[in-house]
A and B are shown apart, each in its own frame.
Chain A
Amino acid sequence: MADLFVNGIILGSIITLGAIGVTLIADILNFFNFAHGDMFSFGAYMTLFFLGIFPNWGTFPGLTFGPAMIVAALLAMGITAAFALFFDRILFKPLRERGASSLFLALSALGVAFIFRSIIRLVWGPQVQYYSRALQMAKRFPMGITIKPDEFFIVGAAFFLVLVVYLFLKRTKMGKAMRAASDNETLARVTGIDTEKVVIWTWIIAVSLTAAAGILYGIEVQLRPIMGWNILIPIFVAVIVGGVGNLWGALVGGMIIGVAQELLTGVLQNMFNAMNVDVLMSAYKPAVAFVLMIIVLLVRPEGIFGTGE
């Protein structure tokens, strides 16, 4: 049980990074970014590309990767964000200016998702890929918990990124402007805030985070073209559970969904095994997330931290 909980934390921190981006975009750009999952994948695959062309700079002690990964990841995050800005410029911005509803924007994002996914498939093919074939020995902890050294890095990196974003939003002028725009866009314009710049920074932060999440997932599990689409559902659910537009909500929501998926499917699996019922619960993780979402929407639709504005 405790091990499932820890696994939930690890996956939860990855989901959180995606959820922060989705909630920012939903708040400031007013739509659910259905392309977020495929941007997650794209970040992971761009990193694979860069790792392929960098020379071997060795690995960090105990981890399966080295400085090359950090450089590759940063480049990949940047490029993925650049692509997102490109799509904003040619697609989302014109639609926004035309007054398109959030549903229309979501539908157009779905198109962008397929564009990213097909590019990934065309360039890298369908096979499963790994950043590193090195096997890691998990360290043993009490209560049956096992954690691989990479996993410490993953959770650490996720929280580090969350901290960086938090400080950005809390301490920098642009960060405050973003929060102001999210509170009241008209008033933000009245105070002279350049809302176009706010839009650009929103994309940069949101997409860099999701690309990073994809990379961390690639380190933890593997790379597959469908990886991002599969994680889109837990991300959306995390955002809704935490409260759309609320960053604490994204953080808490991500962790809750991560833990709930692992714990519930694990517990149910044991139960079904004991009953001799043949069910593969791990395949149903999105369903678990979905049930949680429905419960939250029926009981407290604004989410845990939502204010129902």
Chain B
Amino acid sequence: MSLLEIENLSAGYGPEVDVLHGISLDLNEGELLAVVGPNGAGKTTLLRTVSGVLHPSSGRITLKEKDITNYGPEEIIKMGLSFVPQDQHIFPSLTVKENLEMGAYTLKGDQGERMEEIFSIFPQLQSRLGQQAGSMSGGQQQMVAVGRGLMIQPEILLLDEPTAGLQPSLVKMMLDKVREINKLGVSVLLVAQTLEALELSERAYLLSAGEIVLSGKTEELIEEDKVQDLYFGSSRTEEGEGR
């Protein structure tokens, strides 16, 4: 039984305006799974639905063999699933320390120990604890966002394009951190924007126009035309549905 199972999920932002149509996907324990696809395919919608922010219109989501389809985000995080959105991912008027504290909101007691663990992954945060998160650079905010997501020691981490908007030098650093986090035992569902991000994973899904179009081992998927199109332009396919 997989850790996270999504069966035939449809979801969207209004009545009869579904963005996802019958998605099925599973995440195994310890895996680093990538979801790729063109803009507007529904990758963010998928993460928002799994994390409980959006309610699905049909289908089922099972976490650790429990049906969480209609759970709200407050309940899902208590089950060990943590979501780091792509933007609006920090509390700008709170300090770094306070952002991290909010990450551990559902836990009791002092989180000093946990914060030390976060610092071992993101040492740059330690010196900036009192700084207002909104005044930090994009890369630093990203670290705060991911750090916040890790505070509850999640079993599953949903990461939406963690390298978006980062300078190239920081992209590699962030991806190394994602690998590090996975090696620590956290199962990761990564919405991957870049080829390097995709290559972190062993398995991947290609999402397009709200449907799973391809799935399988990453090293095989990368060879597929449709996936190549995402990163290298659409000159090589006949039915150029990519970008």
Contact = CB atoms under 8 A, between A and B. Distances in A.
The answer to whether A and B touch in the complex, with CB atoms under 8 Å apart, is yes
Range class of the A interface residue count = 10 to 19
Contacts of B94: 176, 179-180, 183
Interface stretch (A107-115, A190-198, A226-234, A292-300): A190-198
A270 interface: no
A101 interface: no
Contact of B74 (A180, A182, A183, A194): A194
Interface in B62-83: 72-74, 77-78, 83
A173 interface: yes
A187 B91 contact: yes
B91 A180 contact: yes
A173 B78 CA distance: 17
Contacts of A182: 93
B73 A192 contact: yes
Contacts, number: 64
A186 B89 CA distance: 10
Interface string A176-216: 11011011101111111111000000000000000000000
Interface stretch (B37-45, B95-103, B182-190, B224-232): B95-103
A184 B92 CA distance: 9
Contacts of A184: 88, 90-92
A179 to B, nearest CB: 6
Interface in A29-48: none
Contacts of B74: 189, 192-195
Contacts of B139: none
A176 B101 contact: yes
B85 interface: yes
B181 interface: no
Contacts of A183: 91-94
A170 to B, nearest CB: 9
Interface residues of B, number: 25
B63 to A, nearest CB: 15
Contacts of B119: none
A190 B148 CA distance: 11
A153 to B, nearest CB: 33
Given A179-B91, A180-B91, A189 B105 contact: no
Contacts of A186: 53, 85, 88
A179 B105 CA distance: 13
B217 to A, nearest CB: 31
Q: Which of A182, A186, A187 has the most CB of B within 10 A?
A: A187
Contacts of A188: 91, 102
A180 B102 contact: yes
A176 B102 contact: yes
B207 to A, nearest CB: 21
Interface in B101-118: 101-103, 105-106
A50 B145 CA distance: 50
Q: Which of A177, A183, A188 has the most CB of B within 10 A?
A: A183
A191 B89 contact: no
In the A-B complex, the 7 residue pairs with the smallest Cβ-Cβ separation, listed nearest first, are A192-B106, A192-B77, A183-B91, A189-B73, A180-B91, A190-B73, A192-B105
Interface of B: 51-53, 72-74, 77-78, 83, 85, 88-94, 98, 101-103, 105-106, 148, 152
